[in-house]
Amino acid sequence: MGWAGRFPTARPAGLPGTALGIRLWNIVRGTIMETMGKVIQIPIDDGLLEEITRLSREEHRSRSELIRRACREYVKAREREELDRIYEEGYRRIPETSDSGESQVALLNQVLADESW
């Protein structure tokens, strides 16, 4: 059963049938639907799907949540890789000199000497 089949579209019996009760239900339902975002279909091989299913049961999370988390982690990793690339490119363009390295070591020694540990 898909997510839409598990989400009730009718107002729950315990919620008052007043205008306020109906408005509250519509807000809750709309908020939940908005947080779901776009629904996409992707092909996935059986072995990977079985692994995702196993992990989702172990972690008590939906497969969708695991896939969203994996996608977020991938995006973060790509951002870190891009920052590393920019950092390395900067050092290739303007390499560090021995003077700047010695200055950094001296400053670090001064800062660490002031630490209470």
pLDDT value at residue 29: 61
Residues 32 and 3 reside in one and the same domain: yes
**Separation of alpha carbons 50 and 69, rounded Å:** 17
Q: Assess whether pLDDT exceeds 60 at residue 34.
A: no
pLDDT tens-digit map of 96-116? 777 777 888 888 888 888 777
Indicate if 44 and 87 belong to the same structural domain: yes
Name the token pair of 110.
Answer: 């001064």
The total domain count for the chain is: 2
Alpha-carbon span 102 to 91, nearest angstrom: 16
Q: Does residue 115 lie in a domain region?
A: no
Residue pair 77/84 in contact by the 8 Å Cβ criterion: no
On whether the CB atoms of residues 21 and 12 are closer than 8 A, the answer is no
Shared domain for 70 and 45, answered yes or no, is yes
Q: Do residues 90 and 45 share a domain? A: yes
Domain that holds residue 4: 1-37
| Structural contact between residues 15 and 24, judged by C-beta atoms closer than 8 angstroms | yes
pLDDT mean across residues, the chain? 80
- Clarify whether residues 44 and 89 are in a common domain: yes
The structure tokens 């050092």 sit at: 91
